[in-house]
A and B are shown apart, each in its own frame.
Chain A
Amino acid sequence: MADPHVPHPDLPPPASAIGALGWLRRNLFSSPFNVALTVLALYLLLTLIPPLLRWALLDATWSGDNREACAANRGACWIFIRVHLDQFLYGFYPEAQRWRINTVVLLLLLGAAPLFIRTVPAKLKPRLGLGLLLVYPIIAIVLLKGGVFGLVAVDTSSWGGLLLTLVIAGVGMTAALPLGVLLALGRRSDMPAIQTLCVTFIEFWRGVPLITVLFMSSVMLPLFLPAGMNFDKLLRALIGVSLFQAAYMAEVVRGGLQAIPKGQFEAAAALGLGYWKSMLLIVLPQALKLVIPGIVNTFIALFKDTSLVLIIGLFDLMNIVHNATTNPEWLGFSTEGYVFAAAVYWLFCFGISRYSQNLEKRLHTGHKH
């Protein structure tokens, strides 16, 4: 009997199909059209990146403390940012009192950190979250505003910079979500009067630009209130921003509510749960989980929209940077200022969106399709 057939060992794949070369061929040079696109993209990168690098890093001025130091170099003048950094972060908050802002931020970080650590027992987290939601704002307001416990009172008109941006965004987010949920429930309600009220409210706010809302809050609110009674400018902006974003949030949450099958509502009713119990325990947890991307998008929009308070003369990060670029001693550095502000906004928005993607993955308990 002849030997059984023994096949030759497999030949290795051709060198051009594996490794870096294979990757290049597949991803950059697979067809004449692709080759042309790659060349075009490379050309674009080569014309854009070197001048950008030269401006931002190589030719930039890093040391010194006046504008004369920048005259020698043709690149960016980062001294402008360094000199104004305190102002950009704290606004016009009195220098001796800035420890209060630092304490508020530190408290937030300390209080919120355990929520994101997995080894902290799950039982503790809701309590901590509730404490953060109910107790922390009071501490923060007392510390920031002062006037009690021997703290010097700091008027909100001297709040500014990143502090103000974060205050508006934080208050807006914590107010817009619950309000939005209520409005969405109202819109889906069986009671015609409640439904009409909610629909009118939502469609009105969604139909007008935020800037007209802020205009309205600054010129019309004084007319609506009894003579002599007046609101803080910051408070007016906060109310405007919160109501505006609540309407958008309501539409996002409504999407989630509509996606919950009717069986869930019926099962909750069959178990004897009342309206609020069935909503809070059965429907909303599922609905909110479904619309995390939408909620986060609304949060990001809110964070970016805080820059509009410049229109009514509040000095948030955007306005304080703009203000610094018009300072006669530092004219001509607007590009540096705007690039810095853009980087800060970008970091926050990109961070929020990345975290939400992570959250979505973690909360995903169903089947992936």
Chain B
Amino acid sequence: MTESALTPIKPPFWNNPRTRAIAFQVIALIVTVAVGLYIFDNTQHNLRRLGIASGFGFLSSPSGFDILQSLIPYSATSSYGRVFWVALLNTLLVSALGIVLATLIGFVIGIARLSKNWLISRLALLYIEIFRNIPLLLQIFFWYFAVLRAMPAPRQSLNLGDAAFLNIRGLYLPAPQFQPGFSWVLAALGVAIALAWGLARWARRRQMATGQQFPTLSASLALLAGLPVLTYWLVGSPLAWEYPELQGFNFRGGWVVVPEMASLLLALSIYTAAFIAEIVRAGIQAVSHGQTEASLSLGLDPGQTLRLIILPQALRVIIPPLTNQYLNLTKNSSLAAAIGYPDLVSSFAGTVLNQTGQAIECIAITMAVYLTISLLISLLMNWYNRRVALVER
């Protein structure tokens, strides 16, 4: 046998997987950089042609427009930078309220979907199938244009027990007025929370050591409710309510929920709740029935079984998709732009952009905010997820 037959035939270099991989990557990078440079060059050219100065200097010039709803002091003389904070807070407000409401409705509907009661589970199914198959924007428009804009004028407001009034301008609620002594009540609440936390720790340690149980839940609830109420009564009821009153053509005083906010909140929570309900149902069904049987045969009652056995395991399945829904809700809150609720997209990427023409800066800031929120919520939820994740042997 000759020497040459033994040495393997070397494939040509263009068939070598390593060379190919490097070539592909170099080409991909070159194309990306080239496209990026092309866009950058065009943008520079276009900006010069249109006479737009780039940069963030515009943020400190006065805005000159009013905003429908603001959580911090704001007027038309405030700067564009101030508009950004007002808009961001409005986005965060509607998202946070939406998340709480959607979670509540979603869990109720999801558990109802699993009810042994045929009627209840069918009703829950109906809710889910109706609301998740209709575009969110349509639902927002329905609540805004067909329901809330069809409310009566302030003089013919719907009177809800003389305290709250509903009309075309919004929902007027009584506003709490804190008197000087109210800080004592808040302090009492703080003390109660600390005590309840200490109590829970002590009860757990005692149960670990001796096996004796302590009614932690009812004791903590009594602490949390009792201590502030007692203080409130002792310092002489330092809380007054300011009721909205009809003056001329509109109501004055109290809190007002503008129709834009109400319809956005309603649509967001009802729509997202349909998805959360399905997630909750799937999560609970993922816990095998053997777990329930084992728990009951150990002598736990059905309530304890749900609380100690099923829910902790179901939550493990529920949390990751639930996080996704929270993110979706936050991103969907940008649909506010369609009905004029002053959120980030509507006020900042809309009004400010149109007034200043700083398209790139406004859109970049807006996108950066949403990316940051997405990242933060996923980090937070990943941390929680790691805590509840299954610890395998």
Q: Could you tell me which A residues sit within 8 Å of B by CB distance?
A: 27-28, 30, 34, 37-38, 41-42, 44-45, 190-194, 197, 204, 206-212, 215-216, 219-220, 222-227, 300, 304-308, 310-311, 318, 322, 325, 334-335, 338, 341-342, 345-346, 349-350, 353
Contact = CB atoms under 8 A, between A and B. Distances in A.
B201 interface: no
Contacts, number: 147
Given A193-B28, A223-B42, A342-B134, A207 B117 contact: no
B349 A212 contact: yes
Interface stretch (B162-170, B204-212, B368-376): B368-376
B116 A304 contact: no
Given A215-B345, A338-B138, A37 B115 contact: yes
B interface, over-half SS: helix
Contact of A342 (B49, B138, B337, B363): B138
Interface in B332-383: 332, 334-335, 337-338, 345, 349-350, 353, 359-360, 363, 366-367, 370-371, 374-375
B80 to A, nearest CB: 17
Nearest to A216: B363
B363 A219 contact: yes
A91 to B, nearest CB: 17
Contacts of A212: 334, 345, 349, 363, 366-367, 370
A27 to B, nearest CB: 4
A260 B96 CA distance: 38
A313 to B, nearest CB: 12
B135 A227 contact: no
A28 B146 contact: no
Contacts of B21: 190-191
Given A194-B24, A208-B371, A345-B138, A220 B46 contact: no
A322 B360 contact: no
Interface of B: 21, 24-26, 28-29, 32, 39, 42-43, 45-47, 49, 115-120, 123, 129-130, 133-139, 141-142, 145-146, 150, 331-332, 334-335, 337-338, 345, 349-350, 353, 359-360, 363, 366-367, 370-371, 374-375
A219 B28 contact: no
B146 A209 contact: no
15 contacts: A27-B116, A27-B117, A28-B118, A191-B24, A208-B331, A209-B345, A211-B337, A215-B350, A223-B359, A225-B42, A226-B42, A226-B45, A346-B133, A349-B133, A350-B133
B120 A41 contact: yes
B145 A27 contact: no
A204 B374 CA distance: 10
Nearest to A305: B135
B327 to A, nearest CB: 8
A59 to B, nearest CB: 17
A209 B334 contact: yes
A280 B337 CA distance: 43
Given A307-B135, A308-B335, A338-B142, A193 B29 contact: yes
A190 B32 CA distance: 19
Contacts of B331: 208-210
A63 to B, nearest CB: 24
Chain B CB within 10 Å, residue with most, of A212, A346, A353: A212
Given A207-B374, A207-B375, A223-B360, A193 B366 contact: no
Given A193-B29, A207-B371, A208-B367, 15 more contacts: A28-B118, A34-B117, A41-B119, A193-B25, A197-B28, A207-B374, A211-B345, A222-B46, A304-B133, A308-B335, A334-B145, A334-B146, A338-B138, A338-B146, A353-B133
Contacts of A342: 134, 138-139, 142
Q: Which 10 A-B pairs have the closest CB atoms?
A: A193-B25, A27-B118, A349-B133, A209-B331, A304-B135, A209-B334, A207-B371, A307-B135, A207-B374, A335-B146
Contacts of B32: 197
Nearest to B118: A27
B43 A341 contact: no
Contacts of B26: 193
A368 B156 CA distance: 62
Contact of A300 (B29, B133, B141): B133
A236 to B, nearest CB: 14
A41 B121 CA distance: 10
B353 to A, nearest CB: 7
B337 A223 contact: no
A316 to B, nearest CB: 10
B119 A42 contact: yes
Contacts of A216: 363, 367
Contacts of B349: 212, 215
Contact of A325 (B116, B118, B145, B345): B145
B356 to A, nearest CB: 12
B22 to A, nearest CB: 8
